[in-house]
Structures are given as C-alpha cells and as structure tokens.
Amino acid sequence: MPRRHPQIRVRSHTLVAIRWVGVTGQGVTLLIVYYGLGFTFPIVPAIAAVTASAALNLFVLIRHWARPHIGDRDAALYLGFDIIQLGALLYLTGGILNPFLILILAPIVVSATVLSSASTVILSLLAMGAVTVLAFEHLPLPSPKPIAPPDDVIVFALWTAMILAIGFTAGYVYRVAREQRRMQEALAEAQAALAREHQVSAVGAIAAAAAHELGTPLATISVVAKELVRDLPADSEWGEDAALLLSQAERCRDILAELSARPRGDTGESFYKGPISTLVEAVAESRGRNDVPVRIEREPEADNPGPEPRVMRRPEIVHGIGNFISNARQFAKTEVVVTISWSAETCQISVQDDGPGFAPSILGRLGEPYVSSRRESGEHMGLGVFIAQTLLERTGARVEFDNRAEGGAEVVVTWPRHRLEQEDQP
C-alpha cells in the first residue's frame, strides 16, 4: 500500500502568536537600548521594520480569519519575511556582531517542524544568505563608545558557526519532526485497521443474533406452510402459493443456518471463547494466496501444558496474526507453517515460511513504520508489520522476528497465558 502524502497545513494563529512575541521583544529591546542605555543607531528605520512585521501579522489575521489553516507555500513566505525583517534589524544594529543574530534560527526551527523539506531548504538558504550579507555589510554595533572593527578571523569564525548552526538545526529538527509525523500517521493507520476489524466483528455479531432471533418465527411459518400444503386439495387455487411459501421458508432457514455457522473467511469466534487453534485456522482460510497452503501444528509442552488456551475473538489478534500469515504466504515458495504451542504460563504462535527471509540490514528495525522488510523484493510491507505488532502488543503479546537457519522468515508471537485468556482486556 503506497504512502499518502497529505497536504501540509499550518494554523495561521500559531504563526501569528509567534510573530507577536517577536514583535514585542524587538520593540522593547530597541526602546531599552536607544532610550534606556543611550546607544545610538538608526531608531526610525528599526522601528519601521518592527512595524512592518506587526502589519504583516494584522494582514494574516484578516486574510485567514475565516480559514485559520494555511498551506505550505504561504507559511514559507511568511517565515521568509521574518528572516528578511530580522536581517534588516541586524543590519541596522551591528550585523553579524549582534548577539541577537542567533534568533535567525527561530524561523528555521518552525519550518523544519511543520513545513515540507523543500520549504525548509529554501528558508535555510535564505537565512545563510542573510548571514553572509551581514558578515560584510552592516552598520556599527551600538555602543556607548566607538568599537574597533573586529579581526577578519573573528568575523569568519562567527559566519562559519552560524552557517553550520543553520544547516545542523534544520536537518536535525526536520528529521525528528518527520519521524514523529510518520509515527503519528502509522498509529492512525493502526487505529483505522482496528476499527475495520471491530466493524467486521460487529457485523458478524449482528448476523448471528439476527439468525438466532429469526429462527423461531421462521420455524412457525414453515410449520404453517407445511400444514397448508398438506391440507389443501390438489386442485386448490391456493395450492401453488402454499408450496411457494414453503419453499421460500425452507430457503430462509438455509440462509439463517449459514449465518449461524462460522462463515468462510470469518474467524467465527466472535460470540464465545474457543480454542486458539480454531481462531488461527479461520484466519488462515481468509488471508493471502490460496495457492500457498498453510499447515497448522499444535505442540503443547511436554511438562504440564494444561488444556489448549481458549480465547475470545479479538480484532487485534485477528488482524495481527492475519497480517503475518498474509505476508508469509506472499513470500513463501511452497507452504507456510503456523505452530501453536502452549504451557501453563505462556502461549506462542510461530509463523514460518520458506521464502527469501528478512533482509539482515533491517532485521533489527522490523516493527518500525515504513520499513521495507524482505530482500529481493520491492514490496513495501513495513507499515503492515508495524500495525500488526502494535495491535498484538495491545493484547499483551511480545513479537519477535528472525530468519530460519534453513531459509525463510519466522515471526514468533508470545503471550502470558493469563493475558490471552482473560475476556476483558484493556
């Protein structure tokens, strides 16, 4: 299943709030330095730059009042303005020698957190360009007395530090934010898969309940129809209608019998606790390629294994085990072997195939979202594995991945028996 790339949207109110903080800080700092400390610099152009930022904030509020979310392009333009506006202030107040130069990282951090990689790269290059200009062109740093021009080595060191800081900050923050976004997307997919399994389970429960409730009135209809067919004369005008009524009643009884029985492709254990092997067999019937057989083996431990665990049909277990069986069937050459073993304390399900196995380079990362897991294959099954593992872990299971010595992959799911058999799990 290919990844979807949702359109990036940012709340304009968030950017506006951040900019108001910046405008307030810039204005207060300029007034304190100019009037409180008596340092001289072009106060009018500096205040004009701060006013321009405030005006942009008002413009954004008015433009996006009804629709508070803005796209990636508009957000990048607003952050680009912040970089240019801060660059103008720094030009008027000492350029690269101004300690407040570090604030140019703020728009980069915001972009790397919420915007696309292209916008982050463009804004980073803009910030690097601004730092480069400020290294060569700027007015003197405000000071109560004249300051000698700094040595070129100092200027070069400051420029190098800022360029590296911009690049490192953009890359690091973007990587962390991207991983967080991918994890959120993967968890949303897991919730959607669980919801689908719950829906299937609910539909099955409704079908079984309907079959049970309709059984009695339908039996009454069948009895009455049989009596009518028996009692009506052979030449009665109602005889054909009575026979049709009886045949349709019999057909309805057959349909309800099928609904009451375990449907093909359903796990069937929706309504009672049953052996875990029955659940696994039903899941295996409905998952993956039919041309690859699934062999199910039961191997209770020799010393006091106790009876086979009986479990409720849980959507998490159905989806998780079903996903591993489907993947095994997809890559198996001849067959898939599912081994169910148990003891008095644990229950374990092992899914083995004789395919190419897991790529050694990513074996330790299996279970992370969007990790392609099979060698010699372009299939992208990492999200499915993540969803399956996440749902199974909700039931108390531990999931382990490995390659078999004779070739092929193996997935082992282990539960504490008391967690697996309890009816109401958190």
Backbone dihedral angles phi then psi of residue 412, each to the nearest 5 degrees: -120, 125
The bridge status of strand 409-416 relative to strand 398-403 is: antiparallel
Domain ranges within the chain, ordered by starting residue: 9-192, 198-260, 274-421
The bridge status of strand 294-300 relative to strand 274-275 is: unpaired
CA angle 138, 139, 144 (to 5 degrees): 140
- Give the pLDDT of the chain (426 residues) as one tens digit per residue: 444 444 566 777 888 888 899 899 999 999 999 898 888 889 999 999 999 999 998 988 888 776 777 888 888 999 999 999 999 999 999 899 999 999 999 999 999 988 888 999 999 999 999 999 999 988 988 887 777 778 889 889 999 999 999 999 999 998 888 777 766 666 666 666 666 655 555 555 555 556 656 667 777 787 787 877 777 787 777 777 778 887 887 877 777 666 555 444 444 444 457 888 888 888 888 775 667 888 899 888 777 678 888 888 788 888 888 888 988 888 888 889 999 999 888 899 999 999 888 888 877 777 776 665 554 444 444 577 888 888 888 888 899 999 988 888 999 999 998 888 875 444
- Domain range 274-421, CATH class: alpha beta
